[in-house]
Amino acid sequence: MGAITFDTSAIFAAEMDARNPLAAFRQQFHIPPGPDGSPSVYLCGHSLGLQAKPARAYLEQELEAWAMLGVEAHFRGRHAWMPYHRLLTDYMAGIVGAKPVEVVVMNSLTVNLHLMMVSFYRPTPQRHKIVVEAGAFPSDQYAFSSQIRFHGFDPATSLIELTPHAGEASIPPEDIAALLEREGPAVALVLLGGVNYATGQLFDMETITRAGHAQGCVVGFDLAHAAGNVALRLHDWDVDFAVWCNYKYLNGGPGCAGGCFVHERHARAFDLPRFAGWWGHDQESRFLMGPHFHPMPGAEGWQLSNPSIMSMAPLRASLEIFAAAGMRQLREKSESLTGYLEFLLDQHGRRQVAVLTPREPDRRGAQLSLRIRQGGGRSICQRLIAQGILCDWREPDILRVAPVPLYNTFGDVHRFVDRLSATLS
């Protein structure tokens, strides 16, 4: 949308919404009602994205296929279930910047993380360390530590956590480069969150991948808070692997199937150790039911079981909307929305609210993480929710808000800051 001079009036927010080319996409989502019955201000897309209106019809199509065809729906009907996951592949590849062979929708995020670490974390006595960011999502922390122990090492000596400087929330990019230069020969795997769930910091994945590879490390990312949020070019960046969930910015519904990327150069690395399942077996001979596993090339070769069609149908509805909107345009609007949120907070709440997320647009996505200076803690979040302003709280002291460009408006942002200021006054 180009450079914008913001102002604090509600009229300005309405004008921005009136001329935004993506504004109509809001109508394709169900906005939960607030206590008074009017649409809430929903700023929790970083946690659970909203339901796309076509999702119900897509799900009912598959329920109807089950009712009318039974098992034959795997091979017949409008969208046969056997290849159903491939209806999502091209859309997902576009969102994460991959080739279709590099992407598959399967399992859940932490399952996929473990599957990738089975193949790509191959520690030796000389090279056994994993580099992560301090404060990674707990499920990731559990996975890292359990994988290290599984290989007979100790997380106390094999897990390297990147930490912010004292008094800061974000990790300086130069610290990552310096650590890899210093520890690189002992590092087996660099595995960061593309966007940190708590602080909202966006990491420079291209530079990190290049630095890790220069030291002989494998480089992967957890994109739970990046996929559908920021522009990604996983193939071009030469990332080895990545995993993500699809229920946050990608609006697939609670607990829906996750996503996995494996770079094309590993597509036929059939000698890599992996945990095998029949859905990853060569599809030409899968139903011969032989005893020996022959993986499919590409990311599909890491599949385990046939996927949940009922999970994928709502996700397909959302991905089609993403394709119509375009990630470049969505990112442009996101930068404007989040910039506007930051501007209003600076104008109305600087003394009461500290923004922990980096201020540079290229170092953050949609989310801003806020610390309330005057205290009040979780009760501030609860009071906002009672007024129809849906955000969330992360211990010990972070209020997270994310204006999502597909369905949030400049008016939403204005209303949030207005209500927050009133709540804190």
> At a CB cut-off of 8 Å and minimum separation 6, what does 318 contact?
49, 52, 55, 250, 251, 252
pLDDT digits (tens, 9 = 90+) for 21-74: 999 999 999 999 999 999 999 999 999 999 999 999 999 999 999 999 999 999
Q: Please list the alpha-helical segments (H only) found in 350-409.
A: 378-386
One-letter identity of residue 159: L
Report which of residues 378 and 140 the model is more confident about. 140
* Tokens at 340, concatenated: 């506007």
Integer CA distances (angstroms), 275 to 69, 114, 187, 257, 293, in order:
33, 9, 23, 18, 10
Domain positions in the chain are: 10-30+327-424, 61-323
Q: Please list the alpha-helical segments (H only) found in 130-269.
A: 138-150, 155-158, 173-183, 205-214, 234-237
Q: What is the DSSP string of 19-64?
A: H-TTGGGGGGBPPPB-TTSSBPEE-BTTTSPPPBTHHHHHHHHHHH
pLDDT digits (tens, 9 = 90+) for 167-184: 899 999 999 999 999 999
**How many Å separate Cα 179 from the centre of its chain?**
25
For the cut 80, the answer to whether the pLDDT of residue 164 exceeds it is yes
Percent of the chain with pLDDT over 90: 92
Q: How confident is the model at residue 377 (pLDDT cuts 50, 70, 90)?
A: confident
Percent of the chain with pLDDT over 70: 99
pLDDT digits (tens, 9 = 90+) for 75-99: 998 999 999 999 999 999 999 999 9
Integer CA distances (angstroms), 85 to 88, 96, 100, 277, 319, in order:
6, 16, 12, 16, 12
Sheet containing 218-222, strands listed edge to edge, beginning at the edge strand earlier in sequence:
103-106, 258-262, 241-244, 218-222, 187-193, 129-133, 159-162
Q: What is the DSSP string of 217-233?
A: -EEEEE-TTTTTTS---
Token pair 């230069």: residue? 181
- Mean pLDDT rounded to a whole number for the chain: 96
Q: How confident is the model at residue 395 (pLDDT cuts 50, 70, 90)?
A: confident
For the cut 80, the answer to whether the pLDDT of residue 349 exceeds it is no
The whole-number pLDDT of residue 126 equals: 97
The whole-number pLDDT of residue 1 equals: 47
- Determine the Cα–Cα distance for residues 406 and 411; give it in Å rounded to an integer: 14
The whole-number pLDDT of residue 325 equals: 98
Q: At the topology level of CATH, where does 10-30+327-424 sit? A: Aspartate Aminotransferase, domain 1 (3.90.1150)
The whole-number pLDDT of residue 2 equals: 53
Q: How confident is the model at residue 348 (pLDDT cuts 50, 70, 90)?
A: confident
Segment 239-254 mean pLDDT? 98
pTM > 0.75: yes or no: yes
For the cut 60, the answer to whether the pLDDT of residue 392 exceeds it is yes
CB 229 within 8 A of CB 199: no
Q: At the topology level of CATH, where does 61-323 sit? A: Aspartate Aminotransferase; domain 2 (3.40.640)
- Determine the Cα–Cα distance for residues 206 and 241; give it in Å rounded to an integer: 13
Token pair 């005057």: residue? 374
Q: How confident is the model at residue 4 (pLDDT cuts 50, 70, 90)?
A: confident
- The b/e string for 187-211 (b: 16+ C-beta within 10 A; e otherwise) is bbbbbbbbbbbbbbbbbebeebbeb
